[in-house]
A and B are shown apart, each in its own frame.
Chain A
């Protein structure tokens, strides 16, 4: 079978695990000359920021700024061909929807996302994604004690 990998989706949320996922996605995009689709899901709590009781009315634009300028900065530095997607919803649904809509050939996510929940009650975002996606998923574990 000849499988072309033209578009690689990667979940980005600023967490350490997502940074590792981004590194792997960039490595693969370079090997396959693929476009990267960087996706961030805007949850209900994200508007509250870091304890701010009265969030800015321009929260979404501030979040977009952080997403594009900080979290995606490695893409700019490497010169990767990429697009960004800031979409509302729970991470697993947003990642599934963007992957389907954009016909991603591979999705890359960290094993734990923002908040660092080791295992969500019904499976982590990465596990749920692997379970429900009809497309290949690469789960990148975070740095663990003793890992290289």
Chain B
């Protein structure tokens, strides 16, 4: 396998390749060369994850159709749309003072602040490039992940909520944003940030019970945001057939009813069968299918961005990111076959009755 990754391209001008014409390119916003977020020895969220993810894209047979975007740091104004200013100041100060642990799971180092700003900014760059018609989809590959970070709290390996920063920026432009979160853990931070916001639909499929303990199906939002939070907790050992049934029977009709103009995916790959932090049984082939379903929810090409969240088994991460990246631009790369026959399928009719049929009646 080649470990070569697409080289950076000045600005974001796509170069036509064998995968397709302009407009069918995959824009990859990665900050692997500026990854100074050090979580300490033995921590599963480490820079090797990003290298594995980039190797996955390099091995997916789409390299000619990939353009790398140059990330930029998110600005204070862009961050305070989703985080408290005091929290941001404290995080910046504490990184400058040498870093340490934010909770028993979550660490920051002197370089974490700048790295987190670049990862958050990568999503914004991706949205800007897609808005300008530069590609079919984008994949933000950065660290640290984001979906556990709340307005004022770092947790679950997350410092800045990357997908939320981009979703808020799009919503401010008048867009309607659907966030599909298939990380094995519930994205409590994203849910909290958009809990009362009717402009952003948050849909999560996650293992239950599992960290962080949120994401029950009766958590539906508040105020104007009632109904724009949809949680679909699934049992351990759920397989791809159940995930696809959820997409076809529940998620797709719910998202179509919302009518998004953009689809953002919190793409964690820790529901892979080999992941050390989850107990689901997905394969790289399943992630290809989930990606296809997700991009079909967007109103047109160029309106889907995937954000790397979790995924801690390096080989499973590599294969799954490759499958996801290929599917983002309509290519088929399945280094592992799809899974079926596990748990979870029996949950689907109940969720359909609750989230689709009751809403229609």
What is the interface of chain B mostly: helix, strand, loop, or mixed? loop
Set of chain A residues within 8 Å of B99, measured between Cβ atoms: 121
- Could you mark each residue 66-98 of chain A with 1 if its beta carbon is under 8 Å from any beta carbon of chain B, else 0? 000000000000000000000111111110010
B104 with A43: CB separation less than 8 A: yes
Of the listed stretches B118-126, B132-140, B210-218, chain A binds B210-218
Of the listed stretches A22-30, A44-52, A136-144, chain B binds A44-52
Q: Which of B104, B105, B209 has the most CB of A within 10 A?
A: B104
Identify which of A55, A90, A97 contacts B105 (C-beta below 8 A): A90
Count the B residues whose beta carbon is within 8 Å of the partner chain — how many?
31
Set of chain A residues within 8 Å of B277, measured between Cβ atoms: 44, 47-48
Q: Which of B44, B99, B102, B212 has the most CB of A within 10 A?
A: B212
In whole Å, how far is B213's beta carbon from the nearest beta carbon of chain A?
4
In whole Å, how far is B223's beta carbon from the nearest beta carbon of chain A?
22
Q: Does B353 interact with chain A (Cβ within 8 Å)? A: no
In whole Å, how far is A50's beta carbon from the nearest beta carbon of chain B?
11
- Could you mark each residue 75-119 of chain B with 1 if its beta carbon is under 8 Å from any beta carbon of chain A, else 0? 000000000000000110010000111111110100000000000
In whole Å, how far is B214's beta carbon from the nearest beta carbon of chain A?
8
B276 with A115: CB separation less than 8 A: no
Q: Does A113 interact with chain B (Cβ within 8 Å)? A: yes
Set of chain A residues within 8 Å of B157, measured between Cβ atoms: 44
B211 with A122: CB separation less than 8 A: no
Q: Does A3 interact with chain B (Cβ within 8 Å)? A: no
A114–B103 Cα distance when bound, in Å, is: 10
In whole Å, how far is B157's beta carbon from the nearest beta carbon of chain A?
6
Q: Does A4 interact with chain B (Cβ within 8 Å)? A: no
B42 with A43: CB separation less than 8 A: no
Set of chain A residues within 8 Å of B65, measured between Cβ atoms: none
Set of chain B residues within 8 Å of A89, measured between Cβ atoms: 211-214
Interface residues on A, range: 20 to 34
Q: Does B308 interact with chain A (Cβ within 8 Å)? A: no
In whole Å, how far is B149's beta carbon from the nearest beta carbon of chain A?
12
Q: Does B279 interact with chain A (Cβ within 8 Å)? A: yes
A121–B91 Cα distance when bound, in Å, is: 8
B102 with A122: CB separation less than 8 A: yes
Set of chain A residues within 8 Å of B211, measured between Cβ atoms: 42-44, 88-89
Q: Does B185 interact with chain A (Cβ within 8 Å)? A: yes
Q: Does A2 interact with chain B (Cβ within 8 Å)? A: no
Q: Does B330 interact with chain A (Cβ within 8 Å)? A: no
Set of chain B residues within 8 Å of A115, measured between Cβ atoms: 101, 104
A53 with B276: CB separation less than 8 A: yes
B104 with A57: CB separation less than 8 A: no
Set of chain A residues within 8 Å of B212, measured between Cβ atoms: 88-90, 93
A114–B101 Cα distance when bound, in Å, is: 12
In the complex with contacts A48-B277, A57-B236, A121-B213 CB distance below 8 A: no
B276 with A54: CB separation less than 8 A: yes
A87 with B213: CB separation less than 8 A: yes
A54–B44 Cα distance when bound, in Å, is: 12
- Could you mark each residue 41-70 of chain B with 1 if its beta carbon is under 8 Å from any beta carbon of chain A, else 0? 011100000000000000000000000000
**Closest residue of B by beta carbon distance from A56:** B279
Set of chain A residues within 8 Å of B105, measured between Cβ atoms: 43-45, 90
Q: Does B155 interact with chain A (Cβ within 8 Å)? A: yes
In the complex with contacts A47-B277, A54-B276, A90-B155, A60-B104 CB distance below 8 A: no
In the complex with contacts A48-B277, A55-B276, A90-B212, A121-B104 CB distance below 8 A: no
In whole Å, how far is A94's beta carbon from the nearest beta carbon of chain B?
7
Identify which of A48, A51, A57, A90 contacts B103 (C-beta below 8 A): A90
B90 with A88: CB separation less than 8 A: no
Beyond A88-B212, A90-B106, 12 additional contacts (C-beta under 8 Å) are: A45-B43, A57-B236, A57-B237, A87-B213, A88-B211, A93-B212, A93-B213, A117-B100, A117-B104, A119-B100, A121-B102, A122-B90
Q: What residues make up the interface of A, taking CB atoms closer than 8 Å to B?
A: 42-45, 47-48, 51, 53-55, 57, 60, 87-94, 97, 113-115, 117, 119-122, 125
Can you list 30 contacts pairing A with B, beta carbon distance less than 8 Å?
A43-B105, A44-B105, A44-B157, A44-B211, A44-B277, A45-B44, A45-B104, A48-B44, A57-B237, A60-B209, A88-B210, A89-B212, A89-B213, A90-B105, A90-B106, A90-B155, A90-B156, A92-B103, A93-B155, A93-B212, A114-B104, A115-B104, A117-B100, A117-B101, A117-B104, A120-B102, A121-B100, A121-B108, A122-B102, A122-B154
